[in-house]
Amino acid sequence: GICLYDLATYCTVTGNVVRGVGTAATGAHGIYIGGRSTHHIIQGNHLFQVAGYGQAGDSCGIMIYRDGATGDPSDLTIIGNELVNWKTAGIRDNHTQGNPLRRVIINGNSIHDCTAYSMLVPFLQESIITGNLIFGNGGGINGDTLLHTVITGNHIYDNTGWGIIADYIANA
């Protein structure tokens, strides 16, 4: 896959094809964003997980990893990507501690055939999720705590679970 980590800033990742990363025994990600990495545009990528790869561990099309200790990514634009057949989620914010993921735009992505979620974004602030095509997944958009975040204009259908779930929404 592709990794943007620690001090990587203002990167544009566009037009890539990532297919079948990891092994059957390990987790893997199409694009990994972590540490203090900020201000990225992830656009027009095709991220496919091939059956049998990355199924034992965590497997995500786009993984945003935050641990609070090294800093949290922010100011991300994820637009026009195709994310297919990931185990955990098409797009995942792995929030383990620290501050909310801030100023994220998730727009115009096609996310389908993911085992668990299309999007697992537990702690977003000042963000927009709009115009995404979400189908054939275990679930749609899962956001536990959404602060000043708008979810609108997404096409969500034929998932085995809920379409949108949010435990707490403040001033959306």
> HEC states along 58-110?
CEEEEEEEECCCCCCCEEEEEECCEEECCCCEEEEEEECCCCCEECEEEECCE
User: Could you give the CA distance from residue 72 to residue 36 in angstroms, rounded to a whole number?
Assistant: 5
pLDDT at 27: 67
| pLDDT band, very low/low/confident/very high, at 129 (cuts 50, 70, 90) | very high
Q: From 71, 70, 131, 60, select the one nearest 102 (Cα to Cα).
A: 71
- The helix/strand/coil state of 14 is strand
Question: How many Cα atoms sit within 13 Å of 1 on the Cβ side?
Answer: 26
pLDDT one-digit tens code per residue, 92-120: 988 765 678 889 999 999 999 998 999 99
| Whether the predicted pLDDT of 10 surpasses 90 | yes
Cβ–Cβ under 8 Å, residues 67 and 98: yes
Residues shown for the chain = 172
Q: What percent of the chain has pLDDT over 90?
A: 52
Tokens of 99: 């501050």
Please name the residue that has the structure tokens 């199924």.
55
Please name the residue that has the structure tokens 């707490």.
168
pLDDT one-digit tens code per residue, 60-103: 999 988 766 656 678 999 999 999 998 889 999 887 656 788 89
pLDDT one-digit tens code per residue, 148-165: 999 999 999 999 999 998
pTM higher than the cut 0.85: yes
120 class by beta-carbon count within 10 Å (0-12 exposed, 13-18 middle, 19+ buried):
buried
Distances (CA, A) of 23 to 45, 47, 96, 111, 152: 21, 16, 25, 22, 36
The one-letter amino acid code at 100 reads P
Tokens of 77: 């634009």
Mean per-residue pLDDT over the chain, rounded: 86
pLDDT one-digit tens code per residue, 34-54: 877 889 999 999 999 865 555
